[in-house]
Structure 1
């Protein structure tokens, strides 16, 4: 089965038909990568402090954000790529103006998250 192509439609992963926000778990496709499509419209909003038992890669596609990864604060904009190592607490907030759009890659077949806030 690992050598069989698979397809998900937008209805399989998107929050709604008009948005790129949503996610799919890798196990749905038989792979070890889970992908989140993040869209945050409002400045000051984002993800609360949390950890994962695997690495997470953030690809900022549009907008600006402040990422807190461990004890470092990193401002990132469109085209920047960041890594949150496994078990390192992290969070982010949309700095605005405008929306934040990112693709977040979880190096795991399923989304596992421990919220700290």
Structure 2
């Protein structure tokens, strides 16, 4: 078994804790623990593996494969390998989500 606390993970850009599977028990997934204020979020990018986003709280606007839509706490999005996507927190409260990357390392091509 491997144990780590979220606050002990790298905190990047003031919005995301990074759980890198290869560094955390040598597991096959990596996770972004995103907690972003309104207006924050990544620009267009893609990954060579699937990503599953579990939206826990707040609201956001996503663009995936050229289609734009809103999401909120309770939504789950499956973004397939190679799909260009981006999102931004909107509203008055933070957007909180877990982004599971089906890879032991993060691989991201910013566009």
Superposition TM-score, scaled by structure 1 size: 0.85
CA-based RMSD of the aligned residues comes to 1.9
Where structure 2 has 5 or more consecutive residues not aligned to the other structure, the ranges are none
Higher helix share: 1
Match in the other structure for 2:96: 101
| 1:46 counterpart = 2:66 | no
Q: Which of 1, 5, 10 is the equivalent residue of 1:9?
A: 5
Residues paired across the two proteins, number = 109
| 1:24 counterpart = 2:16 | no
Contact 2:6/2:17 (8 A) holds in 1: no
Question: What CA distance in whole angstroms lies between the structure 2 residues aligned with 1:51 and 1:21?
Answer: 18
> Displaced runs of 4+ in structure 1, greater than 4 A?
none
Question: What CA distance in whole angstroms lies between the structure 2 residues aligned with 1:20 and 1:51?
Answer: 19
Contact 2:15/2:36 (8 A) holds in 1: no
Q: Residue 43 of structure 2: SS of its match in structure 1? A: strand
Contact 2:47/2:82 (8 A) holds in 1: yes
| 1:37 counterpart = 2:62 | no
Where structure 1 has 5 or more consecutive residues not aligned to the other structure, the ranges are none
| 1:82 counterpart = 2:110 | no
Question: What CA distance in whole angstroms lies between the structure 2 residues aligned with 1:30 and 1:55?
Answer: 19
Give the Å deviation of 1:49. 0.4
Highest CA radius of gyration, 1 or 2?
A: 1
Question: What CA distance in whole angstroms lies between the structure 1 residues aligned with 2:77 and 2:18?
Answer: 19
Give the Å deviation of 1:15. 2.3
Give the Å deviation of 1:9. 2.9
Match in the other structure for 2:51: 56
